[in-house]
Every structure is written in C-alpha cells, then in structure tokens.
Amino acid sequence: MTTAEIRKAVLDILADIAPDEDLSDLKDDVTFRDQLELDSMDFLDIVMELRKRYRIQIPEEEYTELASMGSTVKYLEPLMKDVE
Amino acid sequence: MIVRRTDQQRIVITGVGLTAPNGNSLAEFRQSLLDGRSGVIEYETRYFGKTVAGVCNFDELRYQKRKEVRRGTRAGGIGIFCSHEAIADSGLDWQNVDKANVGIYVGVTEHGNVETENEIFQISGYNYDTQFWSHHHNPRTVANNPAGEISLNLKITGPHYTLGAACAAGNAGLIQGVQMLRLGECDVALCGGVSESIHSFGIFASFNSQGALAKHDDPTKASRPFDAQRNGIVVAEGGCMMVLERLSDAMGRDANIYGEIIGYAMNSDATDFVNPDPDRQAECIRLALKRAELDPDDIDIVSTHATGTTTGDTQECKALRQIWDGAGHTAMNNTKSFIGHAMGAAGALELAGNFGALRDGVCHPTINLDNLDPECELPGLVINQPKELGNVNVILNNSFGMLGINSVVVVRRI
C-alpha cells in the first residue's frame, strides 16, 4: 500500500467507528481526540479493524502511535507496505 | 395485611413511551388494537431460516447518534427510545429534574444472547480465533446493559438495573418502580421492560425444539391464543417504559395521570421449568386483588398473558376460572394475538395497550380466535371485535414466565 492508500484505509475505519463525524477536513498533524469525539473504546476499534482488515498486530505499548492521522500513517507504513 | 396509604405512598403512572410491532406511540398502538391490526410479519434469522415475528420499526436515530447505535445493543436502543418518549409524555420539566433522584428499572426476559451469538458468528469468519472477539462484548452483555444505556443517554445518575424475570419482567419492572418510590429511593421511576429477542436465532430454535413456536401461512394469523388451532408463540421485540411518581408529586404539578398502581403481586410455582401451575397463578392474582382491596368483580378488564401455546393458555384459563366464574361483568382480552410475545416488554406493553379503555370504555379484543378451544373458555372474553364496556375503572394485568415466575399488576383510573 502507498502512503495515500494507508491514509484512505484509516479514514475508512474512522468512518465506520465514528459515523456521525465529518472527516473531510481531518488534519494529519492534530490528534484525533482534538478533532473527533473518540474515547478509549474507539481506539481499540481502530486496532481491531486493522487486525481484521489487514492482519496488522499492534502491541498495546504502541497504541500511542495512533494519536493522529500523521503518526498513524507513519507507524503503519512499514507494516502495510506489502499489503495489497 | 392491608395498608392505608398516604398520597406520598400512592404511586401513579404519568408517562408512557413504547415501541410495539404495530405502533410506535401509545396512540398508534391503541388504534392498532382497536382496528385489529397485527404487527407480525415474515421474518428470517441466521441459521434458523424463515419464520414469523413481531418486528418494530421505530426511529433508532431520534434519540441516539449512529455511533451510539453501533456501540450499544438493540435492547438498549429500544429502552432509550421508550424512555425519551415516556418522559416527554409525562410533561415533567426534565431539564430541572434532579437526575440523581431518578431510578431506572427495566424488566428483561434475557439479555446478552443476541450479542454473544453475533460475536461467535463474527469470529467464525476468522476460524474462531478469539483475538477477533470484540472489546464491546462485555459492556453489551452485562445484565444491566439496557438500563445502563438509558442512564448514559439521558444522563440519569440515580440507580439503574434490570430485573431478569422471564416473561413476567415487564410487570416486575413496574413493581420495582412502585416499591422504590415508596421506599424513597427515587422521586421519579422510569420503569417497564424491553426485548430484543427476535435478533437471537436461539430463542426461535429453542421454542421450535420445544414444539412451541407458532407457524402459519399468514403471519398476521400466527399468534392465536385460546384458538383450537394455536400452535405456539410468535416471538416479538418491543419496549414499554413508564414514568411513575408519587400521587402527591403528580398532583402538585397537575400532571396527566393514566392510573394508579393500586395492587401487585409476584410469586413462584416451584413446580416446573416451563409448565405453569394454575393454582399458583390464581394465588398471585388473589394476592394482587387483596392488596388492591378489590373483589374479582371490581375488575373491569383482565389483560391475559396467554401466549398461544397449548399448555400455557389452558393453564392460565384454569387459574382465571378459579377467580372469575362468569357471574360478574369482568371482560378479558389478549394483546399477544396482535403483536406476538414481546418477552420482557410484554407485561408493560400489554398493560399500556389497555390504558385507552380507562378513558373511552372500549376493550380491545383478542384476535385470531376462530374456533375457541373448549379448555380456554373464559367468562367475558372479548373476541375479534372491540367491546364497549361503558365505565372502565380497573385493569388487572397478568404476566407469567418460565421457571414458574408469576406477576400481576392492578391499575385504577383516578
């Protein structure tokens, strides 16, 4: 997957777990929590959906990497580069 | 023991919110019952396949965001919808109600089966690897879930819990509300019952294995209590939540009062897992009458529990005939014949469906009764067409369940 495709994959997950949110202006360098109504259960949903859709395993100590779109994509790039 | 109650100890119903397979408000529901309109339709569920069921079509997004619906349960969503509607109907100045003094008491027949079945089905797509099991499963399946979702949505900080009482649960929720108001544990009781059971294939499969699941080419005719051709239960979803207050509080704010809960009783058969005991049911009815200080002939309408099973209907009829011998004026009806068996919601829904009679004197019938089973002959049974009774002052509502749990609620017009 390219960087743009990974970003799109994360956006698709966010659209499913936060269906009331407008994601069109989501800023990559601002934390999700500062832009969206997300709680800890939502972040677990992101982890679960990455596991289900792409078989990506994220260790609990690395959940903090999912703070913003920018940090998430950067974290996922090496893990998803071979995902088609 | 008869207790003379002060207005602070007299508990009245001031709001009703409901969703039934044939109506999403008390007015719609009542009109359907008078018009003979069923809410039972063809239905298909995972593994079990085609069957019939009572299915609700209320607006899930009226009081919940899409994210709340996704995260929560159908039972929670039903409870939230009914609670908002009941509060609005009550006319309470909700913004200024102290939410710490509101109690939530929700009757459930079962809870968690739907969510557990869904998760097992979901991980079957991952070779049953439990790392794909949802972290939402526990908050969805804890037994207090439907009441807890109401608390979260309405920001109610008083006590909330469910009452697991099989198919007596709707009445049990109301009884709990009465008791907590009398104890001073809350000032407003939001209580009743909910059911999401049609979303569990297990309930259909289990009734089917028991030989107790209704079948009929025409879904609207499948639920037929007391009829000789009845062949079982139509499973339904639904909910009914009521606002209960002390009479003194309701009068103080000039509230509309549907009626006063003047009597109730619960007891146990202690005889069988599924087959009811008419002697204990009759005992439960007599206890409710005694507490209400009424004779059987003081009851204008008996809202029967009958579900359309061979044994259950005849047993309830035996119980009723012990108390009503036909000499009096008491009318009897059945609401499951329209909507099927709404399980945890049934008691509260069926009581609410009769509230209109307290105002207009018209008793809705039991429908689909083409050939009365001789063992189900009941004095005053209103068959297929509504009946003008004149003055209706008191309704007695039966609700019984598996493991021999019996409940009766008596409501009088004020």
Which residues in B lie closer than 8 A to residue A17 (C-beta atoms)? 67, 70
The CATH architecture of the domain made up of A3-80 is: Orthogonal Bundle (1.10)
Which residues in B lie closer than 8 A to residue A48 (C-beta atoms)? 132, 134-135
Tell me the average pLDDT of chain B: 97
pLDDT of residue A5: 97
Token pair in block for residue B114: 């739907």
Q: Are B214 and B267 in a shared domain?
A: no
pLDDT of residue B327: 83
| Whole-number Å distance between alpha carbons of B67 and A17 | 7
CA distance B341 to chain A (A): 33
pLDDT of residue B5: 83
Domain edges within chain A: 3-80
Q: Are B276 and B204 in a shared domain?
A: no
pLDDT at B2 over 60: no
Coil, helix or strand for B265? strand
Q: What is the mean pLDDT of residues B91-111?
A: 98
Confidence label for B125 from pLDDT (cuts 50, 70 and 90): very high
CATH code of the domain covering residue B305: 3.40.47.10
Domain count, chain B: 2
Which residues in B lie closer than 8 A to residue A44 (C-beta atoms)? 135
Residues in chain A: 84
Q: pLDDT tens digit string along A64-79?
A: 999 999 999 999 999 9
pLDDT of residue B175: 98
Helix, strand, coil percentages, rounded to 5, for chain B: 40, 25, 35
Task: Give me the domain span that covers residue B343.
Answer: 263-412
Q: Are B190 and B98 in a shared domain?
A: yes
Most distant CA pair in chain A: distance in Å?
32
- Last residue within a domain, chosen from B203, B223, B252: B252
- Candidates B9, B406, B367; CA nearest to B179 is B9
Residues in chain B: 414
Q: Which residues of B touch A (CB under 8 A)?
A: 65-67, 70-71, 126, 131-132, 134-136
pLDDT at B227 over 80: yes
- Candidates B288, B287, B283, B319; CA nearest to B304 is B319
pLDDT of residue B206: 98
- Residues sharing a CB contact under 8 Å with residue B40, sequence separation 6 or more, in sequence order: B21, B52, B53, B54, B219, B220, B222, B223, B234, B236, B338, B339, B340
- Candidates B280, B284, B281; CA nearest to B265 is B284
- Last residue within a domain, chosen from B193, B220, B252: B252
Of A20, A45, A51, the CB nearest to B65: A20
CA distance B124 to chain A (A): 12
CA distance A55 to chain B (A): 10
Coil, helix or strand for B320? helix
Residue B215: CB atoms within 10 A of its CB come to: 12
Q: pLDDT tens digit string along B277-291?
A: 999 999 999 999 999
Q: Is B6 inside a domain boundary?
A: no
Q: Is B1 inside a domain boundary?
A: no
